[in-house]
Amino acid sequence: MPVRVLIVDDSAFFRRRLIEIFNSDKHIEVVGIAVNGREAIAQVAALSPDLITMDIEMPVMDGITAVKHIMQSHPTPILMFSAFTTAGAKSTLDALEAGAIDFLSKRMEDIAIDRESAGRQLCARVRLIAARSLRTISTKTPVGTVVSPLQRNDVKRKESYKAVVIGASTGGPVALQEVLIKLPSDFPLPILLVQHMPSTFTPTFAKRLDMLCAITVKEAMDGDLLKPGTAYLAPGGMQMLLQGKGSVMSIRIVESVISQTYKPSVDVTFGSAAKLLGANVLALVLTGMGADGREGAKLLKRGGATVWAQDEASSVIYGMPGAIADAGLADRVVALKEIGSNLLDAV
């Protein structure tokens, strides 16, 4: 059965473009269109689509308001189309908080180098999100169990950890918020956050987390000294590394290279933490597409570090944490709502 999609956008040009892209994929069927949020609510009730693409700025009713109504009355996976601007960042994060699953740029050239590749990536994301939302989910591994055949690193003495490093992608903004709001202001370790996100979004996201959390959250800057109770968000488009001597650790922000798919990359930050801190790292891989973090987790495990993965049932997309679990790298598989309390117990 094809994925049944409802397109919501007030731009006739963009609607035609999406229809053209989706019609090129035999696994996707456009079942309806709406030109504003109010029409979208009615169409969802009438058509019960598998997935909705939603614009943010529309007449009559905007996309954020529509998302709130739809998630209350007919919960459906929603993919937001956003302007990758500072103003667009706030609106997009509002939409994710309201219940949307993911976001993409309205400019196809922001998704991929050429339009054909952008179309393929969009279709792949639609199929994956819809498949994840439609199937009945049962965790392969009981939550909280140790699945790694390697040594039990999660029973370290609490004082042995020197940093927490967290990686996330699709579904990550909401997941990171869920984890970080559980931590007290006197959390004893610095936290490094790597979220796949464009450069115009990360300053806004860091400020939002800082307002919501008891700990301090900031967008990482080159030369930042790591302090306990502070989370450092990798800036979009860049790579975040750890450097230090003795007990003093700081952040190094470097340009991404063309060959790096993810900017920022969980693998890059995990690998840097493994090199500097060895066994003294607690790393978490949260919801996200793909397998970013797996290679970095291998380096961490070789050094004796501890790696946790979010469980399948609570992940929006189980790609990244699933890659960790499937590779036998997870010392613990944890439900999202339990990660915060588990962190407090571990450190």
Share of the chain above pLDDT 70, in %: 90
Q: Could you tell me the pLDDT band of residue 110, with boundaries at 50, 70 and 90?
A: low
- Amino acid 157: pLDDT: 53
Residue 278 predicted with pLDDT over 50: yes
Residue 241 predicted with pLDDT over 60: yes
- Amino acid 121: pLDDT: 87
Q: Is 292 a catalytic residue?
A: yes
Q: Which of 91, 169, 265, 314 is catalytic?
A: 169
Compute how many other C-beta atoms are within 10 angstroms of the C-beta atom of residue 13.
8
Least confident segment among 130-134, 279-283, 317-321: 130-134
- Amino acid 133: pLDDT: 63
Residue 145 predicted with pLDDT over 80: no
Compute how many other C-beta atoms are within 10 angstroms of the C-beta atom of residue 138.
7
Q: In 74-171, which ranges are continuous DSSP H helix?
A: 86-98, 108-111, 115-134
Q: Is 169 a catalytic residue?
A: yes
Instruction: Spell out the domain ranges in the chain.
Output: 3-134, 153-346
Residues ≥6 apart with Cβ < 8 Å to 28: 2, 3, 5, 22, 123, 126, 127
In this prediction, residues 245-249 reach a mean pLDDT of: 83
Q: How far apart are the first and last CA of the chain?
A: 47
Q: Is 105 a catalytic residue?
A: no
Tell me the three state secondary structure of residue 320: helix
Structure tokens at 189: 């370790």
**Distance of alpha carbon 205 from alpha carbon 200, whole angstroms:** 9
Averaged pLDDT score across all residues of the chain = 90
Residue 151 predicted with pLDDT over 70: no
Contact in structure between 173 and 202 (CB atoms under 8 Å): no
**CATH superfamily, with its number, for domain 3-134:** Response regulator (3.40.50.2300)
Q: Which residues on adjacent β-strands are paired with residue 81?
A: 55, 104
Q: Which of 292, 311, 315, 331 is catalytic?
A: 292
Structure tokens at 186: 């006197």
Structure tokens at 100: 């949307």
Share of the chain above pLDDT 90, in %: 80
User: What are the DSSP E strand ranges found in 37-196?
Assistant: 51-55, 78-82, 102-105, 163-168, 191-195
**Distance of alpha carbon 2 from alpha carbon 273, whole angstroms:** 43
Question: Does 258 or 127 have the greater pLDDT score?
Answer: 127
Q: Could you tell me the pLDDT band of residue 164, with boundaries at 50, 70 and 90?
A: very high
Q: Give residue-wise pLDDT tens across range 24-60.
A: 999 999 999 999 999 999 999 999 999 999 999 999 9
Q: Which of 91, 196, 265, 331 is catalytic?
A: 196
Q: Could you tell me the pLDDT band of residue 284, with boundaries at 50, 70 and 90?
A: very high
Least confident segment among 24-33, 107-116, 147-156, 224-233: 147-156
User: Quick check: do 3-134 and 153-346 share a fold?
Assistant: yes
Question: Does the structural domain 153-346 have CATH classification 3.30.1330.60?
Answer: no
